[in-house]
Amino acid sequence: MSTLSAAAIQLAATADTQGNFEAAERLVREAAARGAQLVLLPEQWPLWGTDEQMRAGAQPLEGPVAAWARELARELAIDLVAGSFSEIGVDGRLHNTSLHVTPAGEIRSAYRKIHMFDVVVGGTEYRESAVYAPGEEIVVSATDAGVALGMTVCYDLRFPELYRILALEGARILLVPAAFTIATTRDHWETLLRARAIENQAFVIAANAIGEYLPGRVVGGRSMIIDPWGVVLAQAGDGPCAIVAELDLERQARVREQLPSLANRRPAAYRWPGI
């Protein structure tokens, strides 16, 4: 495969689960109609609400989100990465979980967000760890054509070591379903995304949520698709939409060959502090 058409879905999720599913399906269908073979949804697109609502809306891995994604991916014959949702594990703990579903409608991979968003931004405190337990496994999935996908979620974007490991494990496309706050979207989002693309010589598909999901809590949109040279191939505005771009995998191979920064690494010289 020399090219792959990919899409990022930007939508305004709320506590209205039915409305969220309807909006997501409409935009996924639009992306597929425009030729997208790989489609990414944002973080927590099925439900955004209070901590209590997120706990109450948690579901098992093979719950309604998975059933919806499997049926839609099979019908449209696409690789669908269903953003993330609140998963209740077999141990009773909740995770912020992303699913990759194949064109055959099978769950190929599940990634549980590793880094919890415990921060203060713009005077507002966020404590993701009050609801979710962090994941412990780095996940590389792949399309049926063998294109490796590095799976991450939102706040993971600030941890470059995760993305470097994904690249070293073979990821050619890095996936970032997100709900970046409006402040960090405006000041950090594009810089971080382009940095992850350039330093790992990988495509980055970033699907951000948009709008005010709770009073005073606003997420910033501006979803992007970026190539391994750091060029923005497609960018969303400030409303719900689907963006689509063609990923030139042959050009990526040339970039990695001609500017071999991944191959020129010297792991034996690196020392982690305190280890």
pLDDT tens digits, the chain, 275 residues: what are they? Answer: 799 999 999 999 999 999 999 999 999 999 999 999 999 999 999 999 999 999 999 999 999 999 999 999 999 999 999 999 999 988 889 999 999 999 999 999 999 999 999 999 888 899 999 999 999 999 999 998 899 999 999 999 999 999 999 999 999 999 999 999 999 999 999 999 999 999 999 999 999 999 998 888 899 999 999 999 999 999 999 999 999 999 999 999 999 999 999 999 999 999 888 87
Alpha-carbon distance 264 to 145, whole Å?
28
Q: What is the dihedral of CA 229, 233, 239, 242, to 10 degrees?
A: -120
Is residue 214 situated within a structural domain?
yes
154 included as an active-site residue = yes
CATH classification at residue 127: 3.60.110.10
Is residue 270 situated within a structural domain?
no
Is residue 19 situated within a structural domain?
yes
Is residue 271 situated within a structural domain?
no
Q: Which of 23, 17, 54 is nearest to 217 (CA)?
A: 54
Active-site residue, selected from the candidate residues 71, 75, 154, 246? 154
- Containing structural domain, residue 87: 3-260
Quickly list DSSP for 129-190. Answer: GGT-PPP---EEEE-TT--EEEE--GGGGG-HHHHHHHHHTT-SEEEEEE--BHHHIIIIIH
pLDDT at residue number 143:
96
Is residue 269 situated within a structural domain?
no
pLDDT at residue number 228:
98
Q: Which of 115, 116, 113, 85 is nearest to 101 (CA)?
A: 85
Alpha-carbon distance 133 to 34, whole Å?
37
pTM comes to: 0.97
Q: Which residue has the tokens 């996908």?
A: 149
Helix, coil or strand: residue 242: strand
Output the CA–CA distances (angstroms, integers) from residue 149 to 164, 174, 236, 241, 262, in the order listed. 13, 6, 22, 23, 17
Domain count, the chain: 1
Helix, strand counts (H, E) of the chain = 7, 17
Active-site residue, selected from the candidate residues 43, 106, 136, 241? 43
pLDDT at residue number 14:
93
Residues contacting residue 95 through CB under 8 Å, at least 6 positions apart: 86, 87, 89, 112, 113, 132, 133, 135
Q: How many CB atoms lie within 10 A of CB 272?
A: 6
* Helix (H) or strand (E) segment spanning residue 18: helix 17-33
Is residue 265 situated within a structural domain?
no
Is residue 163 situated within a structural domain?
yes
Alpha-carbon distance 79 to 19, whole Å?
23
Q: Which residues pair with 4 in a beta bridge?
A: 247
43 included as an active-site residue = yes
Is residue 268 situated within a structural domain?
no
113 included as an active-site residue = yes
Active-site residue, selected from the candidate residues 113, 125, 169, 246? 113
